[in-house]
Amino acid sequence: MALVGMRERQQETVRTMRKTMTAAIVAAAVIAPAAAQGQSWRTVAMSRQLEDNGEVRVFVDYGAGEFTMRSVDDGLLYRMNLKYDEDKFEPIADFSGERLHLGVESLRRNINISRRQSGSLELELARGVPMDLKLKFGAVQADIDLGGLALTDLELSTGASESLINVSEPNPVPMEKASFEVGAAEFTIRNLANLRAEEIEVRAGVGSIILDFDGRWQRDAQIAVKMGLGSMELRVPEGLGVRLQKDSFLTALDSEGLIKRGDVYESPDFDDADYRIEVELHIAFGSVAVVWIR
C-alpha cells in the first residue's frame, strides 16, 4: 500500500509540474509572434547622373533579401530600387567624389528576419566606368550580372546565401584580382573568363559551389579555392588548358578528362592551349567534379 501511495504522489507532483511548464511555454509562444508582427514597407528609387567620374570605388552592403544587379547606360552612375522594412533598416546612398556606398543598414544590431519578411534591392551600375566593386551580403538571394561593368577589382563576401553571378560580357578593363568569400551557400559563377582577372580566389565555408570557366579568355589565370565542407563543380570549356592541384583531407575528386602528372592533374592539351588556368584546391571535406562543356 505504501508503494501505491508513493507512486500516486509522484504522479501528482509530475502532473502539477507538467501543467505549470505547459502554461509557461504556451504563453511564450503566443506573445512571441505578436511581438514579431508588424512591418512597415518603404519603397525607394534612387539614382545619380554620370558626371566626370574617374574610377569609382563602389561598396554595396545588403543584409537580407533579394538582390539583383545589372549594368546601365542611360547616363547614370547608378540606379537603385529598394524595398525594405523602415522599422528595421535604412537605405545607404552616399557618394563623395570617388566613393559610392549603397545598400541598406540595420537600425538595430540583432535582427532576425526570414526570407518572407525580407525586402529587395535592384541595383544598376554604369557601364564602362572603371569601378572597384565590393559587395557584402548577409542572407541574400542574389542574381548578379557583371557583364558590361568595367571592373578593376572585385570582392564579394556573402554569408548564408543563394547566389548566381554571371559575367555575360567581357570586362572592358583587365582585372588584377577577383575574390569571393562565401559562408554557407549555393554559389554559382558563370562565364568567369569574361572577368579578365589574373587571379581569382574563392573561399567558402559550407555549401555547393559551381565555377563555370566559360566566356572569352584573353589571358591566363590563377584560381585558388579554399573550402571547408561541401561539393564543388568546375565547368571547363574544351580547349582551355587546365592544371589542377588538390590539397585536401577527405575529398573525392572526379577528374574525368584530366591526366595525373605527378601531384597535379592536367588537361591533355595543357601545353598547347591558347590560354591556361591553374587551379589550386584546398578542401577539407567534400567532393570535386570537373565537367567539360562544349
Partner 1 sequence: MYMSQLLHRAFLVLVLAALTLPLGVEGQLRTIVSKSVSASSSRATLAIEFADDGMLKIAFDGGTILVDGDPVGSYEDGDELDTAWRALLGDAMSRENGALARILDGWAPPADLDHDLENAAEAVEDALENALADLDVEAERRDASVSISINNEEGSLIRLLVSAVGNLGGLVKALEGLDENFRIHIDEDVVIPSGSMVEGTLVVIGGSLRVEGEIEGDAVIVNGTLDVRSDGSIGGEARVADTRIVRNTGEIRGGIVNVLEDEREFERELRQELHDEIRAEIRSDVRNEIRNATRFEGDGFSIMSPLRPVIRGVGGVFEKLVGVFILALLGAGFLAFAGENMDAISETARRAPGRAAMVGVAGSFLLVPVWLLGAVALAISIIGIPVAIAWLPLFPLATVIASLLGYVAVARNAGEWMADSSFPWTAWIRKSNPVLTLVGGLLAFSGLFIAGHVLSIAPFLNVLSTLLFIAGGVVTFVALQIGFGAVLLTRAGRRREHYSTYDAEVAWEDAVRRNAEDGLGGDAGTTTGDGSDDA
Smaller CB separation from partner 1, 38 or 262: 38
Binding site for partner 1 (CB under 8 A): 3-7, 9-10, 13-14, 17-18, 21, 40-49, 51, 74-76, 81, 86, 91, 93, 95, 184, 206-208, 229-231, 250, 252, 285-287
Q: Whole-number minimum distance, CB 43 to partner 1, in Å?
A: 5
Smaller CB separation from partner 1, 108 or 249: 249
Q: Whole-number minimum distance, CB 188 to partner 1, in Å?
A: 12
SS (H, E, C) the chain: CHHHHHHHHHHHHHHHHHHHHHHHHHHHHHHHHHHHCCCCEEEEEEEEECCCCCCEEEEEEEEEEEEEEEEECCCEEEEEEEEEECCCEEEEEEEECCEEEEEEEECCCCCCCCCCCCEEEEEEEECCCEEEEEEEEEEEEEEEECCCCEEEEEEEEEEEEEEEEECCCCCCCCEEEEEEEEEEEEEEEECHHHHCEEEEEEEEEEEEEEEECCCCCCCCEEEEEEEEEEEEEEEEECCCEEEEEEEEEEEEEECCCCEEECCEEECCCCCCCCCEEEEEEEEEEEEEEEEEEC
Q: Whole-number minimum distance, CB 50 to partner 1, in Å?
A: 9
Q: Whole-number minimum distance, CB 82 to partner 1, in Å?
A: 8
Smaller CB separation from partner 1, 15 or 261: 15
Smaller CB separation from partner 1, 46 or 224: 46
Q: Whole-number minimum distance, CB 78 to partner 1, in Å?
A: 10
Smaller CB separation from partner 1, 170 or 228: 228
Smaller CB separation from partner 1, 6 or 107: 6
Q: Whole-number minimum distance, CB 47 to partner 1, in Å?
A: 6
